[in-house]
Structure 1
Amino acid sequence: MYRKKQSTEDYLESILEAQKKHGSIRAVDLARFMNFSKTSVSIALKKLKEAGYVITDPKSGVIALTGEGLSLAEKTLEKHKLLTKIFIYLGIDPVEAEESACKIEHLLSDDAYA
């Protein structure tokens, strides 16, 4: 269950970050952004669509987060940024702080974060 949650949150967070950086994105753009294969991204997007987190425009292929997907992506990104800041404050190297935050953000419940 943890791996599924982690993967879902990582993809949603990446979609949000890629959209902020590049505007509208398609699967190929997301694959490049995440440095994943197009096949892996296509499989993940199918699962995210089935879960109701994203929609894809059938003509252009542009990916959009649903309200639920956006909410989860924003929460995950907030946790990530907060944890990174805390780790840096504690004297951890910024690169290591970023990597550790990415791992730990998925373990925090909404209640623990609130």
Structure 2
Amino acid sequence: MILGKSLEDYLEAILILKNKKGTVRSVDVANYMGFSKPGISHAVKELRIHGFLKMDNNGLLHLTESGQAVAEKIYERHCFFTQYLIDIGVEPKQAESDALISTLMPDLNVMVKKSSYTAIFSIIRLTSVSSNAVSSVGCALMKS
């Protein structure tokens, strides 16, 4: 199954929060992403239906094995592009924000710097980035 960008964002957020806090509730995801609890509830339901997420009796969210694998690939891809943008001169905060695969309209300064990789960005968006490439880069998303 191919997830939409929105559900990918939720999986990545759950992975990041799990690694930072140990446990994750829907309200944690809502706060982290700046969304309302009802919006998160709908996404959680979709992720559960498709077998990426489970919720226990205490309301804690748990990635399934397949959910964990997908979330890690999404996270690795995000880290890869964040580091790439930093390497071409984009400020780290802007790079992290712009590394999200489906940003609407990036800052004009970033657009100029991005022009060197726009074509491969579009191609790689549909594929996964190898773990080796990302592990050599590292990512601060879970550290902050």
With the shorter chain as reference, the TM-score category is 0.7 to 0.9
Please identify, of 15-24 and 98-107, the stretch whose mean Cα deviation from structure 2 is larger. 98-107
Is residue 89 of structure 2 the alignment partner of residue 91 of structure 1?
A: yes
Q: Which has the higher helix share?
A: 1
Q: Is the 8 A contact 2:101 2:125 kept in 1?
A: no
Q: Which runs of 5+ in 1 are unaligned?
A: none
Question: TM-score if structure 1 supplies the norm length?
Answer: 0.87
Q: Which runs of 5+ in 2 are unaligned?
A: 103-120, 131-144
1:33-75 Cα distance to aligned partner (Å, 9 max, x none) = 2111000000110000011100000x20010000110001000
CA distance, structure 1, for counterparts of residue 67 and residue 81 of structure 2: 21
TM superposition outliers: structure 1 runs of 4+ over 6 Å: none
CA distance, structure 2, for counterparts of residue 110 and residue 41 of structure 1: 26
Number of the residue aligned with 1:54: 53
- Specify the SS of the correspondent of 1:110: coil
Number of the residue aligned with 1:33: 32
- Specify the SS of the correspondent of 1:76: helix
Question: How many residue pairs end up in the alignment?
Answer: 110
State the 1:103 CA deviation.
2.4
CA distance, structure 1, for counterparts of residue 42 and residue 90 of structure 2: 35
State the 1:93 CA deviation.
1.4
Question: TM-score if structure 2 supplies the norm length?
Answer: 0.70
Percentage of pairs with the same residue: 36
Number of the residue aligned with 2:125: 108
